[in-house]
């Protein structure tokens, strides 16, 4: 996918590490960033807006879009729960003259970095420990016990992907992490 000036910021992390928090902060701070709304076959959570947080599809609709070649990348992140980046989202953001921000799982992040190369900054967000990750997932109160277990079970494997990213952002103290992510973004966009 080609664009004169459009760049990408890719955020990946084990679930609960704080990447949504980082991404929302950047979208508020930088008016020339715009979020790539992913498609998913999972159920909407309380407070999520269809078309804004995700494009919610049935598993069958998702499979049809895979067949039609509409995704830049997609993953079955949890069994029967698909997540993917639509080519149309990247085109939409670049057509607005903005830079695109992705919030994707670690494999999706590596795929997008391979696609966009130097046009992309790939950031791996990491909680200070798995115990803290568990605390944050529980405190968020959005997941069932089963879903928390699944997410923690995946976290160990996902942490091994950190070295494939351009940078690792440790999200310990929130204010410091937000400041750091702003600084990384400014450096990348000004380069």
Binding site for ligand ADP (CB under 6 A): 13, 15-21, 136, 139-140, 171, 174, 177
Q: Does residue 105 touch ligand 5GP according to CB under 6 A? A: yes
- Helix residue ranges, H only, the chain: 19-29, 59-67, 87-95, 106-116, 130-140, 145-159, 174-190
Q: What is the length of the chain?
A: 191
Distance CA 144, CA 160 (A): 25
Q: Are 55 and 36 in contact (CB under 8 A)?
A: no
Q: Among 171, 71, 168, which Cα is nearest to 123's?
A: 168
Among 79-87, 92-100, 121-129, 176-184, which window interacts with ligand 5GP (CB under 6 A)? 79-87
In the complex, the smallest distance separating the C-beta of residue 106 from ligand 5GP, rounded to whole angstroms, is 7
Of the candidates 41, 85, 126, 171, which one interacts with ligand 5GP according to CB under 6 A? 85
Of the candidates 8, 22, 41, 83, which one interacts with ligand 5GP according to CB under 6 A? 83
Q: Are 9 and 99 in contact (CB under 8 A)?
A: yes
Q: Does residue 108 touch ligand 5GP according to CB under 6 A? A: yes
Number of residues in contact with ligand 5GP under rule CB under 6 A? 13
Q: Which residue lies nearer to ligand 5GP by CB, 75 or 182? A: 75
**Binding partner of residue 158 among ligand 5GP, ligand ADP, none, CB under 5 to 8 Å per kind?**
none
Q: Are 105 and 150 in contact (CB under 8 A)?
A: no
Of the candidates 70, 75, 166, 182, which one interacts with ligand 5GP according to CB under 6 A? 75
| Strand pairing class (71-78; 8-12) | unpaired
Q: Among 94, 75, 137, 101, which Cα is nearest to 2's?
A: 94
**Binding partner of residue 147 among ligand 5GP, ligand ADP, none, CB under 5 to 8 Å per kind?**
none
In the complex, the smallest distance separating the C-beta of residue 87 from ligand ADP, rounded to whole angstroms, is 23
Distance CA 138, CA 124 (A): 21
Contacts with ligand 5GP by CB under 6 A lie at 15, 38, 42, 73, 75, 77, 83-85, 103-105, 108
């Amino acid at each position: 996918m080609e664009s004169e000036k459009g760049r990408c910021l890719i955020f990946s992390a084990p679930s609960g590490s704080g990447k949504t928090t980082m991404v929302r902060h950047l979208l508020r701070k930088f008016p020339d960033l715009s979020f790539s709304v992913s498609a998913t076959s999972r159920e909407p959570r309380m407070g999520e807006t269809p078309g804004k947080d995700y494009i919610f599809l049935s598993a069958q609709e998702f499979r049809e879009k895979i067949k039609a070649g509409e995704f830049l990348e997609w993953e079955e992140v949890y069994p029967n729960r698909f997540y993917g980046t639509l080519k149309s989202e990247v085109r939409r953001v670049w057509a607005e003259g903005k830079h695109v921000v992705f919030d994707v799982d670690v494999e999706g992040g590596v795929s997008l970095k391979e696609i966009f190369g130097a046009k992309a900054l790939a950031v791996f967000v990491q909680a200070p420990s798995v115990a803290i990750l568990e605390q944050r997932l529980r405190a968020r109160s959005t997941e069932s016990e089963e879903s928390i277990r699944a997410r923690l079970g995946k976290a160990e494997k996902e942490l091994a992907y950190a070295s494939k990213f351009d940078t690792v952002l440790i999200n310990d103290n929130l204010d410091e992490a937000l400041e750091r992510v702003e600084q990384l973004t400014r450096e990348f966009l000004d380069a």
